[in-house]
Chains A and B, each alone.
Chain A
Amino acid sequence: MVTNPTGSFDLENVSVAYGSETAVAGVSMHIVPQSVTALIGPSGCGKSTLLRCLNRMNDELGNVKVEGSIRFDGLDIMDNRLLDPVDLRRRVGQVFQKPNPFPMSIYDNVAYGPKTHGTRAKAELDAVVEQALKRAALWNEVKDQLKKHAFELSGGQQQRLCIARALATMPEVLLMDEPASALDPISSQQIEDTIAELKKSVTIVIVTHNMQQAARISDRTAFMLRESMDRPAGLIEIGDTRVMFTNPGDKRTESYITGRFG
């Protein structure tokens, strides 16, 4: 798994428009495989919008137009003939801000992806479910109650269940949109520990409001900003997290990180 890592992204001049309004423009960045990249910036700076470009979930919102080039391990994901969005999403999973387990059992939640993708054999499914729950650090808490309804879990457990659900399809990349913002500090800590473990095997791109969290868990940090309402948001800079937080190249990054705005 370590040799020849997969799950890299190359963005070139990416812009996103909602209807006639351009929300994000001119973003170019490289996302390093099997590392954690944090997208930070104040509200409305297009972090989540940019994140959704990576698994083409913007397509599902209607009236959203994405332009520019996005390559996933060299493959142009904007071209449906090369890679169908449905296939892309099997390789690029997503965890949402609010835990969104399906109204079914714990087991069925995790088995959902592999099942619809064609895994039918019970033993195989059992193994996939167990492995995914272990990777999401939830197995020990739920191994005796896999038939329990997902809604009975706590918020933090539900979020780890959603991580397990995303991992069950064996994605190479996991996109996380403020995955801990709706959780209490202890659950939040557990999610962070899970991320630290997961980055050994998958690429993680995480949107976060919480700068301490970005500093703790990420290897690289991208700072985005919308400087005025009549201009689209853009990428200010991206770099090694330690450098970004101690010696950023741009004045605006420094102001944001030191808490002067946002």
Chain B
Amino acid sequence: MSEPRNTTRPSIGRPGISRAAEGLAKTIIIISGWTAIALLGAIAAYLFIESRSAISEVGLWSMISGELWYPTSKTAQYGFLPSETGTLWVAIVALMLCVPVGVASAVYISEFADKRIKDVYKSVIEFMAGIPSVVLGLIGLSLLAPWVRTTFGLDTGLTAFAAGLMVGVMCLPTIISIAEDALHAVPSELRMGSLALGNTRWQTTYRVTIPAASSGIFAAIMLGMGRAIGETMVVLMLAGNSGIIPNTPFLPARTLPGTIAGELGEVVRGGQHYSVLFAMGLVLFMVTFVINLAADSVLERQRRRWRR
């Protein structure tokens, strides 16, 4: 980064070996950068290739809109609707928990907490993001599911609702940290401008800071939703994995990722069921891809707005 100090004898400042090393480093970095993009493309392509036979034999639309999931019966039915509905319920319950709690926490950390609490809170959030989902699943099985069963008077606690609650907990770190970033990015001059008008901190937060950060907060919610839709382990352990379309979140349900993870081990490699599961993966991949892309473009727009 720094210029060679002795400009009359540049060969001493930059011997040939360092020039070669720099070139190598640059090449490695470029290759690594493109690898990530190539991998993404490869994943999409592989999903597509593996699901091709399902798409041509069963039809993509009849899978997406099919109401029955009997993959092992003699006349197999490959309808995704039970899994799609279950995924939706889990995501809705998760968002109903993690959006209010997550956004409120972000507002607290960014606008009201003093620095020491802020630092502690941030590392707690990071720690929380690192908890393996299977551990949360265990806690859900032993504590949450029985609680749901007795509280709501259900036959079983293993429902979309229980899974949604736990998935909501898992999405909290994502929502909190991204929403906090968005609030933090709001220039302090705006807060000062509002406070100097004789508004309280809360009025300032509510009427100026949060609206100014709204697109970033929205992106945080979108990314949380992406996480909720794709979460597998907790759902597999807690949702009950019923094959019936659940009319309410208080019924056992299955989700797209849960179905794939639960059944892939039992299918014949290369068979129709196998290919259908890949088609399911393709649908899931596209949904989360679109959500993440939308969230990203919203975030980028907000970043550009404050770069004055």
Interface residues of A (CB under 8 A from B): 55, 57, 60, 62, 86-91, 93-94, 96, 98, 100-104, 112-113, 116-117, 162, 165-166, 169
Contact = CB atoms under 8 A, between A and B. Distances in A.
A102 B187 CA distance: 10
Nearest to A166: B197
User: B-side binding surface: helix, strand, loop or mixed?
Assistant: helix
Residue from B190, B191, B198, B200 with most neighbouring chain A CB atoms (10 Å): B198
B196 A89 contact: yes
A162 to B, nearest CB: 7
A165 B199 CA distance: 13
Nearest to B196: A94
B196 A57 contact: yes
B197 A100 contact: no
B193 A116 contact: no
Contact of A116 (B190, B192, B207): B207
B194 interface: yes
Contact of A117 (B114, B189, B198, B211): B198
A102 B189 contact: no
Given A102-B194, A103-B211, A169-B198, 11 more contacts: A55-B196, A86-B198, A86-B199, A89-B198, A90-B198, A93-B196, A93-B197, A101-B193, A112-B197, A113-B198, A116-B203
Contacts of A62: 114
Top 8 A-B pairs ranked by shortest CB distance? A90-B198, A89-B198, A100-B189, A94-B196, A113-B197, A100-B193, A103-B212, A116-B199
Interface string B178-210: 000000000101111111111110010001100
Given A87-B198, A166-B196, A96 B189 contact: yes
Contacts of B199: 86, 113, 116
A90 B197 contact: yes
Nearest to B213: A103
A102 B211 CA distance: 10
Interface string B295-306: 000000000010
Contact of A57 (B190, B192, B208, B211): B192
A60 B192 contact: yes
Given A87-B198, A112-B197, A113-B198, A100 B207 contact: no
